Amino acid sequence: MLSPEEYKTEYEDTLESELPTRPISTLRDIQYLYGRLYTLATAGGGEFSAYLTPDESRDILNEPESLVALQIDLAADGTASLAEEPVFVTSLTEQLVPAVAHCDYDSSAGIDHSITHRTGQDKSPDKIAGYLVDRLTRWAVDDVVEEIAADHEDGWLIDSLASLGKDESLSERIQTATESQLDGTTTALTTIRVRPPGSDKYFYPGELATETAGSDQTDVFQVAMRARKLSKLVDKNAASNSTGSAVDFITGEESQTVGMAEDPLNYFLGKQHESFPGLDPEEAWRSHPISEDGAVTIINAQTFIDSCSYRALNMRVYYLPYFFGRPTTEKALALYDILYNVYQNDDLTPVEAAYRSYRGDSTFGITSDLELRFYVGAIRYQQAKRFDVFGDTLDGALMYPVDLSDSHQTVIESPLFTARGSSDRTPPLPTHPDWDLLTPTSQLRSIATGWYLTQTFPDLEPNEDTSPDDYRIEALVGILSGEPLLVEELLDAYTQAITDSAGDDHPSLTVASQFAQLTALANADLLKTNDPRYEPLTQETTYNSLATMTNTESIRADGGSTALKRTEKLESFINDTPAINEDAQRRSAFLLGVLIGQVSGYQESKENRATTLVDQYPIKGLTIKKFKRTLHEAVDKDIVYSRDNRMSGTMYAEVVDELRKAISASKTDPDEWKMDTTDLRFYYSLGVTYGLNDYEPDDESNETNVDKEE
């Protein structure tokens, strides 16, 4: 495959004439463009280039004994005979790739479409001899090939090969010659070399269609190859002959079309009746007509399309870059640069490759006026030849995931997770160097591959199917295409994930990751709601007052109390979080969690208790009806420990005081709250995470105690 630099050198002056003339508007347009770029990069231009598969032999290029040809002499009377030296063995070189004109057929039981055929891995000389015999006894007598021979002016060439194949001594002679030429097992292309009447040179099948053969040139082998490949596009997927003259879906020109062509995304298939209601496979060329050459070009897109896909959420996610509008030379070169880099680097996603190009780190930089877009699709394999398309859009854009990545990194670097100034208080939420969403690094790859959501959403079992209404699919496609996510459904997924989490410990790092993600999504304008109660969750947050608090030198200048530091930190966090600050019920749930987290930290550190309040009141056990009882028992336990420490006041009084204010501000008894359970549990879990992270072992020793001598 040509490098981007070689591609530009080869095609810059002629590329525009090779490209579609209409703007990119469908997935089929993208596939066709990919296939055209790939064909030019591998097989070059020409009438039959789209049908050739040179990449199928790249792995044996320049290997010893990687090309084995049966040499045949042609006579003026139309007969053929084996040459004096029947078998010719050499290395397959770059120069010989177009000469052998190989067209692969992906079938373990069949032969390749071209007369050139690739062997299996490490075949013995007798097996190689069998492949050579097949060139005459199988390929030359194939029904489709015989039809071409009957109609083509040079069909006698194929007929002569078929006649030669009837020679009963042929197989033995070829085997003897092959064994004498090969040293051992090999993987090779097997083909023919023919010497036309009166010529002293032997020509490979592809050379006969070029000026190399002079007056003996003929395209009969390529025409037969093309017919064999096309025959597989009209009789598959429950159709026997889905072909007819119609307007090509891609070019808009009338041509011979096929209706059941292969599809690199396994989307436009005969069993996909939900995509084409009432589909009749035999008449598919009427409802979805693709020209014969167009169908083959689309198949050639497979390599680039596979490179731009990855596994996520038990599905295959396709992220296909393209440029809005009609393809031009500038756009095509920039697109090829992205596709080539993704193909060459298995660890590089299309988003990352495009971002490198955007930053000028590649051969052809992307400028904003080129209007880069992405097709985003999530497709799940269901059963044999059945694939479900759960979500797709043509509106993906580079800056949606880039902006979200930047937003997430800013959140992690903010005082929400990073201590600032001279305060020795921990930040509100914990971080961990081995927890991806809690480290201040780029999340671009994580977002593009779906790992960004996988870390915060409920786990999928290895064999669990993803249902069409699974919110994670909508969320993934939404993030990649800039469509805001419904925050209610996001909270539901978060809550399910933390209530399902294995183990006895509170999932602090998961909760912290979810809150970081929620904040980043809001700041990137990727959250929406249909319920006014959730509107504060969609607002941008900066945690400015928290930054001011943690940078205030006066906090410790006079040896200020631990309780004062805790109070200012808690007030700052609440003030900077609209979802908590603007909703008394949500604030109450959060503060209850804070109190239970702080008391639990005390129990574990000072009391050496194996079972703490967090264990007694887990996330999944909290409901509106249990809120008051949980609150009373938490406050009671706080008072007990305050007395045990002979404190003049109540331990964590700042939290208890805020709790009383919040419940009073709700203006209703907690038993009558209309708060959703998912909302309650998420902010309760956030509070527990805050409280556990806020606790420090010497907190209580810094509180004001009653004189122990009294």
Domain ranges of the chain: 1-40+269-397, 54-218, 398-560, 583-702
Residue-wise DSSP of 73-104: EEPTTS-EEEEEEEEEEE---TTTHHHHT---
CB atoms within 10 A of CB 434: 7
Q: Is there a contact between 624 and 670 (Cβ–Cβ < 8 Å)?
A: yes
How many CA atoms lie within 13 Å of 566's alpha carbon, on the beta-carbon side?
27
Pairing of strands 80-90, 315-323: unpaired
pLDDT at 538: 95
The answer, yes or no, to whether residue 703 has pLDDT greater than 80, is no
Mean pLDDT of 214-234: 83
pLDDT at 466: 65
pLDDT at 8: 93
* Number of helices (H), then strands (E), in the chain: 29, 13
Look up residue 434 and give its two tokens. Answer: 């081995």
The answer, yes or no, to whether residue 275 has pLDDT greater than 80, is no
Mean pLDDT of 670-695: 92
Q: Is there a contact between 174 and 86 (Cβ–Cβ < 8 Å)?
A: yes
Mean pLDDT of 413-435: 81
Q: Is there a contact between 266 and 306 (Cβ–Cβ < 8 Å)?
A: no
Pairing of strands 485-486, 527-528: parallel
Per-residue model confidence as pLDDT tens digits over 580-605: 999 999 999 999 999 999 999 888 87
pLDDT at 439: 93
Mean pLDDT of 214-220: 73
Per-residue model confidence as pLDDT tens digits over 225-262: 999 988 877 655 555 566 777 777 777 787 777 766 67
pLDDT at 459: 81
131-153: b (≥16 Cβ within 10 Å) or e: bbbbbbbbbbbbebbbebbeebe
Per-residue model confidence as pLDDT tens digits over 528-577: 999 999 999 999 998 877 776 644 433 333 334 566 678 888 999 999 99
Binning the chain into helix, strand and coil, the percentages to the nearest 5 are 50, 10, 40
Torsion of CA 226, 228, 230, 234, to 10 degrees: 170
Cα distance between residue 353 and residue 347, in whole Å: 10
**CB neighbour list of residue 501: distance below 8 Å, 6 or more residues apart:** 507, 510
Cα distance between residue 248 and residue 42, in whole Å: 25
What is the residue-averaged pLDDT of the chain? 85
**Dihedrals phi, psi of 393, to nearest 5 degrees:** -155, 150
Taking every pair of Cα atoms in the chain, the longest distance, rounded to a whole number of angstroms, is: 127
pLDDT band, very low/low/confident/very high, at 47 (cuts 50, 70, 90)? confident
Per-residue model confidence as pLDDT tens digits over 472-527: 778 888 888 888 999 999 999 999 999 887 566 899 999 999 999 999 999 999 99
CB atoms within 10 A of CB 548: 14
Listed ranges 342-351, 377-386, 652-661; the one with the highest mean pLDDT: 652-661
> Whole-prediction pTM value?
0.80
Using DSSP, state whether 689 is helix, strand or coil.
helix
- Report the range of poorest mean pLDDT among 206-210, 323-327, 685-689: 206-210
Listed ranges 287-301, 493-507, 617-631; the one with the highest mean pLDDT: 617-631
Mean pLDDT of 422-438: 83
Higher pLDDT, 466 or 706: 466
Cα distance between residue 20 and residue 371, in whole Å: 17
pLDDT at 617: 92
**CB neighbour list of residue 545: distance below 8 Å, 6 or more residues apart:** 572, 575, 576
Using alpha carbons, select from 56, 73, 111 the residue that is nearest to residue 300.
56
Residue-wise DSSP of 103-171: -----TTS--SSS-EE--TTB-HHHHHHHHHHIIIIITT-HHHHHHHHHSTTTHHHHHHHHHTT-TTHH
Mean pLDDT of 26-55: 91
pLDDT band, very low/low/confident/very high, at 98 (cuts 50, 70, 90)? very high
Using DSSP, state whether 405 is helix, strand or coil.
helix
Look up residue 122 and give its two tokens. Answer: 């490490």
pLDDT band, very low/low/confident/very high, at 613 (cuts 50, 70, 90)? very high
Using alpha carbons, select from 153, 154, 139, 149 the residue that is nearest to residue 102.
139
Higher pLDDT, 664 or 505: 664
Q: At what angle do helices 4-11 and 27-42 cross, to 10 degrees?
A: 90
pLDDT at 551: 45
- Report the range of poorest mean pLDDT among 165-179, 311-325, 600-614, 694-708: 694-708
Cα distance between residue 710 and residue 704, in whole Å: 15
pLDDT band, very low/low/confident/very high, at 430 (cuts 50, 70, 90)? very high
- Report the range of poorest mean pLDDT among 90-94, 110-114, 250-254: 250-254
Cα distance between residue 581 and residue 541, in whole Å: 12
pLDDT at 254: 78
Higher pLDDT, 389 or 423: 389
Residue-wise DSSP of 254-278: EEEEESS---TTS-S-TT-TTTSTT
Cα distance between residue 91 and residue 60, in whole Å: 9
Q: Residues in the chain, how many?
A: 710
Cα distance between residue 196 and residue 205, in whole Å: 12
The answer, yes or no, to whether residue 708 has pLDDT greater than 80, is no
Q: Which residues pair with 73 in a beta bridge?
A: 81, 195
The answer, yes or no, to whether residue 129 has pLDDT greater than 60, is yes
Per-residue model confidence as pLDDT tens digits over 66-84: 999 999 999 988 899 999 9
pLDDT at 556: 32
Using alpha carbons, select from 316, 324, 317, 358 the residue that is nearest to residue 341.
358
Cα distance between residue 169 and residue 176, in whole Å: 11
Higher pLDDT, 360 or 491: 491
Which amino acid is present at 417?
F
Mean pLDDT of 461-471: 67
Q: Is the dihedral of CA 298, 300, 302, 304 positive or negative?
A: negative
Residue-wise DSSP of 554-611: HHHHTT--HHHHHHHHHHHHHHH-HHHHT-HHHHHHHHHHHHHHHHHHHHHHHS--SS
pLDDT at 211: 55
- Report the range of poorest mean pLDDT among 404-413, 555-564, 629-638, 668-677: 555-564
Which amino acid is present at 526?
L
pLDDT at 423: 53
Pairing of strands 67-74, 189-195: parallel
Q: What percent of the chain lies above the pLDDT cut of 70?
A: 84
Look up residue 59 and give its two tokens. Answer: 């792995």
Using DSSP, state whether 68 is helix, strand or coil.
strand
The answer, yes or no, to whether residue 334 has pLDDT greater than 60, is yes
Which amino acid is present at 378?
A
Q: Is there a contact between 149 and 158 (Cβ–Cβ < 8 Å)?
A: yes
pLDDT at 554: 34
pLDDT at 704: 45
Torsion of CA 692, 693, 694, 700, to 10 degrees: 50
Cα distance between residue 556 and residue 545, in whole Å: 18
From the number of C-beta atoms within 10 Å of its C-beta (0-12, 13-18, 19+), residue 383 rates as exposed
pLDDT at 463: 64
Higher pLDDT, 433 or 263: 433
Cα distance between residue 184 and residue 89, in whole Å: 12
Q: Is there a contact between 534 and 490 (Cβ–Cβ < 8 Å)?
A: no
**CB neighbour list of residue 167: distance below 8 Å, 6 or more residues apart:** none
Which amino acid is present at 699?
D
Mean pLDDT of 23-51: 91
Mean pLDDT of 140-152: 94
